[in-house]
Amino acid sequence: MLSWGIAKIVNFSENGDMKVLVVDDEENIRKFLTITLKAEGHEVLSAANGEEAIEIAQSEFPEAIFLDIRMPEIDGWEVLRRLRKNEKTKKIPVIFLTALPPSQSNLATSHILEADAFITKPIDPKEVSLVLKKVFEKS
């Protein structure tokens, strides 16, 4: 069960609040991340599947994407492949969400596809903050 406690998240955007896309087929994960990110003043967009995520990313240009790997129809790996092939979305930082610990094969694939980070479920709000900060320190 997820904890609904909200941790203070540092705002890393030079221009203030960030626009963040949260993609997960589980509604409770989307709500948890939305609450966590909105508590810090970030604008949060939400998608329940891969196709919707691609459409939103191409029209809204979020500054970061939290993306579940295991989703029906179009999984997170395929969403990332499509985002990286598109000039408009290829540089958006993507943070994978997974219920499984990242294996060597997942890490190798994420490196090839240029995923920026992994967060393992259940999600700790403090980890959201730390990973988001690290992603923007790299860029």
8 A C-beta contact, residue 101 and residue 134 = no
- Global pTM reads 0.82
Q: Which CATH superfamily is domain 19-133 in?
A: Response regulator (3.40.50.2300)
Strand-pairing partners, residue 125, are: none
pLDDT, position 136: 79
Per-residue pLDDT for the chain (139 aa), expressed as one digit of tens each? 333 333 333 334 443 488 999 999 999 999 999 999 998 888 999 999 999 999 999 999 999 999 999 999 999 999 999 999 999 999 999 999 988 765 655 665 665 567 888 888 889 998 898 888 888 777 6
8 A C-beta contact, residue 38 and residue 22 = no
CA dihedral 123, 3, 57, 10 (to 10 degrees): -80
8 A C-beta contact, residue 100 and residue 71 = no
